[in-house]
Each structure stands twice: as structure tokens, then as C-alpha cells.
Structure 1
């Protein structure tokens, strides 16, 4: 019998809409963290595909994504200009994976805080696509985070053969 704790989305399978959305997003956020857990900085920065995508770059990019969707739109937080210019993919030799993860955790915490202040029906203007609801932001962030966690899964397997999680 499997005694591992159930993932959050399974625990809230009869929960309310917001609880389900938050559980799925947090599940994919933690999946990304699991995919980079235990990697050396050099391995996290290694390019294994033709694009700029690296494991460290995925963490940095998703930090920008968190900042750009929840706090920037809901709480008028500023997104650093250099992040917006590069999409967050470029990782400098000075940036450690631990520091990038700490920034990601802080961005996720800020996103939770910004979102908690509004109902799912709350609508905000988006500069490129027009009005969007907080509900839409949650669904978009679940998709974005899950997609990049999948990329991280493949890159981690290419890095050291680690699979699962």
C-alpha cells in the first residue's frame, strides 16, 4: 500500500473553485522545485537544447512570470526592466540556483498575497490582451507553470538521468 502523501490537487478534489485553482498552481510550482532539487549550479546552467532554456533559466523565467501576472496586474508592483527585456532566461555566473529558488519562492508568496485580496471575478486591464479576470490569471499560470515544469522534467533527465517526481 502506498503511504506517500497525496498531491494537493487530489486532496481538494471536492473543494471550491479557488481552492482547486490554488492547489493545482502550487502543485506545479513545487514540481518545478523538485526537478531542480540537488543540482549543482553548473548543471542547472547547462544548455542541453538549441534555445536559451536551462533548468536555472526556467526558474528565473517563472519568477518573472509570477511577478508579471499576479502582483504587477493586481497590486501594481513593478516588474524589473531587465527581466522584461530578456524574458528571464539569461542566468549569469553570479546567480546561484539556491538564490534563484529563493527569488522564485518570494515571487510565489507575493503572488499568493496579491491574489488573496480579490475574488476570482475581479477584472483588471492587461496591456496587450485587454480585460482579464483573476480566474483567467490562475488558469494561465497553471498552464504556464505546468508546461515549464514539463520542460524541466526533460532537461533534468538529460542532465543526470533523474526521472519522476
Structure 2
């Protein structure tokens, strides 16, 4: 039953974080950050909550919900923070190297329009794609009627 609760709450957290990223105008068209980062960190935390220590050996820690106290949860949270810190530092170094070697920025017009449109011909938000398509069709019809 713990897996059902953990996965249900994990899916809610991933969906909520995807909506927050969209509201913050952070371009993540496939919700990779919401699914992998938020879901992964939640998975780490659930071990500290639901772990049955005796199932993993006599020296294994037990999760908070089974009377193990805060120790295992603290270890899991600390491990998650260490992974986030490592990821931030390594990503920063790699982006700086890429920026130095060939540039990491795109022109401002492309950045404002969205790189998904430039590279793949799609928008991160499908409603935006449909709105632009309707506008193109209206312009096309307007030019046809003015030519009559």
C-alpha cells in the first residue's frame, strides 16, 4: 500500500510542478524537470517515510511512519540536497564551457518566440500554437478578400 500512496502523491507533485513551471514561463515542453527532478526527490523522501528496516537487514534504518524516527528521513533529504547541489555545479560548469566554446545563447527574437518553435516547429503550449495558426489563417483570408 505504501507504493500506491507514494506513486499517487508523486504524480500529483509532478503535475503540480509542471503547472508551476508553465505559470513561471519556464520552457519545459515535455515536463522533464517536473517528472524527473520532482518525482525523483519525492522517491528519495518516501524511503525515509515508508522503509521497513528489518526487511533490509539487522542494521537497516526504519522509516518515520514505522517508528524509526527522523534519522532515515534526514539522511534521504540530505542525499537529495547533495544531488541537487552536484547537478547545479556540474551544469553551471558545463554551460560555461559550452558558452566559451561556441556560445550558449540564441538571438533575442528566437528566445522570445521560443526555441521549440525555431528548432522543432512546435510550441511548448498547444493553445499558443493553435492561436497562431488561427491568426495566420485569418490573415490569409483577409488578403484574399482584399484582392477581390
Same fold (TM over 0.5): no
TM-score (structure 2 length as normaliser)? 0.30
Structure 1-normalised TM-score? 0.27
Q: More strand by proportion, 1 or 2?
A: 1
Whichever structure has more helix as a proportion of its residues is 2
